[in-house]
Chain A
Amino acid sequence: MGQWNVMLVDDESDFVDTLAERLRMRGFRARAVTDGHEALALAEQDPPHLMIVDVMMPGLGGLEVLKRVKKTLPDTRVILLTGVGSTKEGIEGMRLGAFDYLMKPVNIQVLIDKMHEALVDGE
């Protein structure tokens, strides 16, 4: 799994930067992005194997990012991160093609296990 290309999208920059750093320490090529539009533009330039996307973001929300990724980058897997009270959005996301959803705050090992599942599934 050495150089899996992973993009993290969440408007909470402290959260997403830190998580990206932790994933880099574990061998992933992880990028942190804090805006849905920017994430889509960067993903088209350098398609990630996997995107981890927060559901509730200002501007372009996680479900909309998911819909557009599924259209333009069908090979990219998407895992959604939901907050409290957003389980409904997580379920809706799976209907729209998300690999799965996890509730924040998520244990790093749980996240990595889910990432492996998604990446193996995408091979």
Chain B
Amino acid sequence: MDELEKVFLGRISAGMTHEINNVLATIREATGLMKDLLLQGKDLSTPLQEKLVSVSERVARQVERGSYLTTRLNRFAHSLDHPERVEDPDELLGLTVDINQRFARLKKVQLNALPCSRNQRLSLPSFHIQLLLANALSWLMDRTAGGGEIILRPTVESGRLTIEMEARPVSESPTEMADTFTELATHVATVQTFIGADFKNRTGVEGFSIILDLPPAV
């Protein structure tokens, strides 16, 4: 995808998520008003009133959920229209967890990010990092045992960001994993070269880690 296409996609997606959020805000207020009206006649409380209040609360909860998701999608969309963004690595990985959570849930894998060792903001090619992380996570999820966990562990050293993705327990032997890991690295080689990132792997006692190493921003 060239830069012009990326910016276009980012701009349209960001604009649409903004509009969807306006719709959700209106639904939230309308449901809130219904609840206010129902609760006005407290002394006339009937099972139907109670049921309607409970339904309006359910709608409000789903609006909350929808709003959170659109906010995250909006943030992801903005990673497309800015090739380099100044980011907090914790925020970057928080977004990674959110946008990959559904895939993890389908594989019955827990996906979590640990906080960064250092509170720092870095200039990062966010979209390409998300692309590499999503590919690596998808590959790891396919090899993580059901009920297992993938932990994202960021570290920053002299402006250099390293993200370890550790899966445990894994469903394949370490040798098999190390062999097929080469396929993953080849699959995303162009993007790695583009942002100067490096993918490595490490076999642990119970699990398997992929390490994404990013060069310091120029």
Contact = CB atoms under 8 A, between A and B. Distances in A.
A binds B: yes
Interface of A: 12, 14-15, 18-19, 21-22, 25, 56, 83-86, 103-106, 108
B32 A15 contact: no
Contacts of A86: 18
B74 A105 contact: no
Interface string B6-35: 000000001001100110111011101100
Contact of B22 (A15, A18, A85): A15
A86 B30 CA distance: 23
A18 to B, nearest CB: 4
B67 interface: yes
- Where chain B touches its partner, the secondary structure class is helix
Contacts of B71: 84-85, 103
Contacts of B70: 84
A106 B29 CA distance: 9
Interface residues of B, number: 24
Nearest to A85: B74
B103 to A, nearest CB: 22
A80 to B, nearest CB: 14
Contacts of B63: 105
B33 A22 contact: yes
A18 B21 contact: no
